Amino acid sequence: MQIITSITSMRSLAGSLRQEGKRIGFVPTMGFLHEGHLSLMRAARQENDIVVASIFVNPAQFGPKEDLARYPRDAEGDRKKCESVGVDIIFTPSAEEMYPEKPGVFVTVEGLSDILEGAIRPAHFRGVATVVAKLFHIVQPHRAYFGRKDYQQCAVIKRMTKGLDLDVEVEVLPTMRESDGLAMSSRNSYLDAAQRKKAACLFRALTAAEELVWSGVREPERVKQRMRAVIAQEEGVEIDYVEAADADDLSPLATIKGSIVLLVAVRIGATRLIDNLLVV
Ligand code: AMP
């Protein structure tokens, strides 16, 4: 396994690999890897000749009051995990390498970037779309792998890829969960034992809402109310939003029909958690 920190080296290696006819699979991450990340890497391993994983905590997608400085890091643990699932190349540039000047060039996906997560984290999706566009240009993958856990991010990246005519297949894979349903996340490491227990209410809320939809309820407000009620049972879990949205464009629903996604974002102490469930 190779570890590359320079854009020039990564770009020229990717160029030679493509010239040799190798298919490149790419998994962008911010590190502190868990089974969710590894599931993407395993899929990339199965479907490509070369697997590149990036580990880059992207300053451009953190707001000024967010957790950039304390975001968990474990370079050595990540290296071992990547090796264990057959990653060929880790691309892990510094912030100075990726943004030698204060970023003044951004990719913005309008419409999707200012709702839900974007309403609470204003420059977040601009930062995500910008770094993923840059990484696609550097790593030159045939196919890139993302987790449904970050549903809105997947929608932004798909639209960005299409809108910029990037020649990358975007693959979205299911959310990996702990045994009580909590979606795996690097940020779960912020939770103490009591908070960790409470955090399972996100998945309980989503599955309770899903049951309502399956039972035939068509009013989004009733479904959202169920999610709020389940979460309210846990003291100290503050809701940022609950939503029932169109699965394609994330627009709010007047009535529940077709493929929908249930989304939830909460704060437990200083930790923000998001989750979602696709109901098709
Ligand atoms: P992150 O390191 O949090 O930026 O995540 C890197 C990639 O892993 C993104 O595509 C995430 O959606 C994906 N991911 C994060 N958590 C999970 C999970 N629990 N299951 C599946 N994919 C995940």
Exposed / middle / buried, residue 128 (Cβ in 10 Å: 0-12, 13-18, 19+): buried
- Ligand 1 atom closest to Cα of residue 27: 7
Taking the model in full, what pTM does it have?
0.98
CA–CA distance, 87 with 89 (Å, rounded to integer): 6
Q: Which amino acid does the sequence have at 113?
A: S
Distance, CA of 29 to CA of 26 (rounded, Å):
10
pLDDT above 90 coverage of the chain, percent: 99
Tell me the sheet residues that pair with 54.
28, 91
Which amino acid residue places its CA nearest to atom 13 of ligand 1?
A: 147
Q: Which atom of ligand 1 is nearest to the CA of 31?
A: 2
Q: Which of 33, 40, 143, 171 to mutate to test the pocket of ligand 1 (most atoms within 8 A of CB)?
A: 40
Taking only the tens place, the pLDDT of each residue in 66-83 is: 999 999 999 999 999 999
pLDDT at residue number 118? 98
What average pLDDT does the chain have?
Answer: 97
Q: Let me know if 124 is a catalytic residue.
A: no
- Of 37, 124, 137, 142, which one is the catalytic site residue? 37
The structural domains of the chain, ordered by start, are 2-173 (3.40.50.620), 186-275 (3.30.1300.10)
Residue range 24-56, pLDDT digits in tens = 999 999 999 999 999 999 999 999 999 999 999
The CA 20 to ligand 1 mean position distance, Å, reads 30
| Rounded mean pLDDT, 173-177 | 98
Report the chain's terminal Cα–Cα distance, integer Å. Answer: 39
Index of the ligand 1 atom closest to the CA of residue 174? 21
Residue ID of nearest Cα to ligand 1 atom 17: 36
What does the pLDDT read at residue 102?
82
DSSP 3-state of 16: helix
Which sign does the torsion angle of CA 170, 152, 28, 266 carry?
A: negative
Residue nearest to ligand 1 atom 8, measured at CA: 37
177 C-alpha to ligand 1 centroid (Å):
11
Span 171-176, mean pLDDT? 98
Residues in contact with ligand 1 by the CB-under-6-Å rule are 29-30, 36-37, 39-40, 146-147, 149-150, 175-176, 183-186
**153 Cα to the center of ligand 1, angstroms:** 10
Say whether pLDDT at 192 is over 90: yes
Contact 186, 155 (CB under 8 A): no
pLDDT of residue 255: 97
Burial class (CB in 10 A: 0-12, 13-18, 19+), 270: exposed
Average pLDDT value for residue range 99-110: 92
